[in-house]
Amino acid sequence: MNSKFRRASWLALSAVGVIGLATGCGVGQGDGQTESPAVEDPKPRPLVVLGIDGMTWDLAQPMMDRGEMPHLAELVKRGLRGDMIAIPPLSSPTLWTTFATGRFARHHNVMDHTYPYVAGPKRRVRSTLRRVPAIWNIASHYERSVGVVGYFASHPAEIVNGVMVSDRAWGSAEGVYPPELLDELRPDIDQLQQREEIQKLQQRYLHWPYDIHAIHRPEDRYHRVTRVVKGRIGKHVVTEELVRRAALRLAPRDFDLFMVYLRMPDHASHATWMYFDDAEFEDKPSPLEKELLSDIIPTSYRDTDDFLGRLVAELGDEVNLVVISDHGFGPAAGSWKPGNKDDELFLLSGSHRPDGIFLAAGPDIVAGELPSGVNAMDIAPTLLALLGLPISEELPGGVVEDVLDPRIRQQHEPRSTPSYRMRWKSVDTEEELREDVESEDLEMLASLGYVSSEASVADASAAEDLDFWEIDERLRRNLVLGEGLFHLLRDDREAIAELLGELQTHDPLLAEHLPRVLRKRLGLWQESFPFPLVSEQVRQWVDSGFVDEPADD
């Protein structure tokens, strides 16, 4: 079994306090007793986490080589680099919540872009769905100061030991904590509502006289390119800028944990991949489309690199910095072509790949490369280790052994605890879940192919809490395959047997076909990585239908 995917052997077994499982309920209130944090050793250095949705080394590396991403290149020189191995489903809210909690989706309960997790009307997922504590809850519990800006599926904001700006904060009373933070952000919010400022931002990406109404004028020279970017680029350039400005405003504060999430590479890649690289598409874009749309993805990467440079300049190089993406990207072709063939989805020419990025740099981090990558389930334990916080034994992943400098491991040896028991709560406001806002959110998700364009808004009292085995069959099976693939990567045959046992009770058809389906998924995943994801013994075990070789006499 690959040591990168084991729970690190240097995890001490002593627990800090008696901590048990936290379960979210109602408006995000954790359940169970709350323990007072125990006295700990001196705190490690501050940790900064930059999340970049959809960024891939396949694009970043050539741009670094050409000098277009100097700040990322500088971090690579002094840091630890590897491929992120995402587990199914490649759904951003699910993966980012997994990063933040270290738990499988059926445990943390953020399983898709929308809920309820059954057919019918939908609402965009909210942080109140999450049943287990996120890293900012754990850090707050242990009296670490926290700053979180724009993190996916973090709305409404939660009460933390510090500040939080949710991913839907702008103009929303429940989008920030503490409430007075909204007044501090108001100058940027107001400025970015001005037409001139919006146009200036859009012109960085849209190099033509962009007019959203051109979508209603088929004879317009810019009709088709406007359809490509509507709902995917123009509006999100502005929301991304709000996140960047909020992060740079808050960065100078004295945080132990500071987290920022950016999304433009994902939006740009979904919408414009075929105009950036049409090699795998039978129908080629026109010369005009290539001229106007081919630089949108590189622009999103350059903008992200510029923000990274400004953030590092603000924070200095005495912090530990981790940069991650939830998945990579490639053309929506072959096995990665969306199943829905309607016209709007046809315009979505980029689709997710399982190879995201991992990069860590700082005084306490070893420089070099991780030849076998980093599993998505290992992110939360590794971040907790960098913070010097206890790591729950309920987390399936483990600390990436090669991240922490051995000298630092001696000073802040990671500690384990059986489970977490703590309370957390979302901002409590009188704000209603307005149907017009929810409708706009669904329209945005439809423009990215995540929901049907015909989806209607669910009632505000829509059930948030279903038994896992009652949710939509396709979604449930994809989540189960993610767990199965993770266990294969660890060569954890006991966990596979337990999963099969559950399936035989709840989904006997999937249980029957699980070896075949996992073999196919493993093959698809392997295409994205230059190193073997499993050993030859594991591959043979899967090919045999999970039949072990008989033991020698």
Over residues 340-350, the pLDDT tens digits come to 555 554 578 99
Asked whether the beta carbons of 43 and 31 are under 8 A apart, the reply is no
CA proximity to 295, closest of 240, 233, 358, 212: 233
CA proximity to 127, closest of 174, 77, 75: 174
Is residue 389 assigned to a domain? yes
Which residues have C-beta within 8 Å of that of residue 351, sequence separation ≥ 6? Answer: 270, 273, 329, 330, 331, 332, 336, 337, 338
Q: Are residues 374 and 497 in the same domain?
A: no
Average pLDDT over residues 58-78: 98
CA–CA separation, 445 vs 199, rounded Å? 23
Average pLDDT over residues 426-444: 68
Asked whether the beta carbons of 76 and 368 are under 8 A apart, the reply is no
CA proximity to 174, closest of 458, 438, 432: 432
Q: Are residues 261 and 149 in the same domain?
A: yes
Average pLDDT over residues 368-380: 96
Q: Is 452 left (phi over 0), alpha (psi -120 to 50) or beta?
A: beta
Which of these three, 357, 388, 417, is where a domain ends?
A: 417
Q: Are residues 48 and 178 in the same domain?
A: yes
Q: Are residues 159 and 306 in the same domain?
A: yes
Q: Are residues 99 and 216 in the same domain?
A: yes
CA–CA separation, 211 vs 482, rounded Å? 42
Number of Cα atoms under 13 Å in the Cβ half of residue 233: 30
Q: How many independent structural domains does the chain possess? A: 2
Which of these three, 400, 417, 434, is where a domain ends?
A: 417
**25 vs 178, higher pLDDT:** 178
CA–CA separation, 72 vs 76, rounded Å? 6
Domain limits for position 296: 17-316+324-417
Written as six digits, the tokens of 481 are 């395959």
Is residue 140 assigned to a domain? yes
Q: Are residues 175 and 305 in the same domain?
A: yes
Is residue 462 assigned to a domain? no
Is residue 5 assigned to a domain? no
Q: Are residues 74 and 147 in the same domain?
A: yes
CA–CA separation, 80 vs 360, rounded Å? 5
CA–CA separation, 60 vs 302, rounded Å? 9
User: What Cα–Cα distance (Å) separates residue 373 from each residue in 95, 358, 379, 385, 532?
Assistant: 17, 8, 12, 18, 10
Q: Which of 116-125, 291-300, 363-372, 498-507 has the lowest mean pLDDT?
A: 116-125
Which of these three, 417, 436, 457, is where a domain ends?
A: 417
Q: Are residues 351 and 480 in the same domain?
A: no
Q: Are residues 194 and 331 in the same domain?
A: yes
Is residue 355 assigned to a domain? yes
CA–CA separation, 59 vs 50, rounded Å? 18
Is residue 175 assigned to a domain? yes
Which residues have C-beta within 8 Å of that of residue 443, sequence separation ≥ 6? Answer: 231
Helix, strand, or coil here: 352?
Answer: strand
Is residue 449 assigned to a domain? no
Q: Which of 196-200, 415-419, 448-452 has the lowest mean pLDDT?
A: 448-452
Q: Are residues 30 and 117 in the same domain?
A: yes
DSSP state of 491: T
15 exposure class (CB count in 10 Å sphere: 0-12, 13-18, 19+) = middle
pTM listed for this prediction = 0.90
Cα dihedral 190, 194, 197, 198, rounded to 10, equals 100
Torsion 235-440-352-404 (CA) sign: positive
Is pLDDT above 50 for 533? yes
Q: Are residues 412 and 292 in the same domain?
A: yes
pLDDT in tens, 265-280: 999 999 999 999 999 9
Q: Are residues 389 and 495 in the same domain?
A: no
Q: What is the CATH number of the domain that holds 153?
A: 3.40.720.10
Is pLDDT above 80 for 225? yes
pLDDT level of residue 231 (50, 70, 90 thresholds): confident
CA proximity to 264, closest of 225, 308, 234: 234
Is residue 435 assigned to a domain? no
Whose tokens are 């280790």? That residue is: 385
57, amino acid identity: W
